[in-house]
Amino acid sequence: MQHCDGNHFEGRWATWYSWLTGGPLRYTYRRLARDAAALAGPGAAVLDVGTGPGVLPDELARLRPDLTVAGVDPAHAMVAAARRRLARHGGRVRVTEGTAAALPFPDGSFDLVVSSLSLHHWPDPAAAAAELVRVLRPGGRLCLYDFPTAPFDAVTPAGAAAGRTDLPWRMPFAGRLTRAVIEPSVVEHDR
């Protein structure tokens, strides 16, 4: 898998990726959103890291009007596409430019942090995982969806270094994807 910064998804790639996630992968994103919505408590604050054109926040906001949803992406073109897509949700869904390794949010801002098909692009997965854990509220959950070859192992030490004693467990999800979750009291590993 190729690691990249936000420039990878500018220009023609932004157009192509917007089409891909809103078209052929739309069903997959709907499954991801249903799964993430089930993990979010009532009125939860949810962050989507690597939001791309905003398909996952759009689905989450549609499924769960009680949620406050934020998205972050390093690519300016992706953030612009997400803002266009998410404008209909008003101030309940916001998107900002930023990287997984330097999230522009205070500590403990979110009840649920999700990332779909983004982990395999992060240049420093351990630093990014530590950031995702940092913005979680106490008792919050982190849910990563990606290809089985993505660096999921970077999540466990990042959680431990941040004082989280709960370890991620993994399971196959949506065909060829893997789902890893950090949540309170979860200590089993499953590949």
* Reported pTM: 0.79
Q: What is the mean pLDDT of the chain?
A: 78
Tokens found for residue 155? 């999540």
Task: Give residue 148's identity as a one-letter amino acid code.
Answer: P
Side-chain half-sphere exposure of 61, counting CA atoms within 13 A: 23
Tokens found for residue 112? 């649920």
pLDDT digits (tens, 9 = 90+) for 158-191: 655 555 545 444 444 455 556 666 554 332 222 3
**In the chain, what are the domains?**
6-182 (3.40.50.150)
| Residue tagged 């900002």 (tokens) | 96
Residue 19: how many CB atoms within 10 A of its CB?
A: 12
Residue pair 156/167 in contact by the 8 Å Cβ criterion: yes
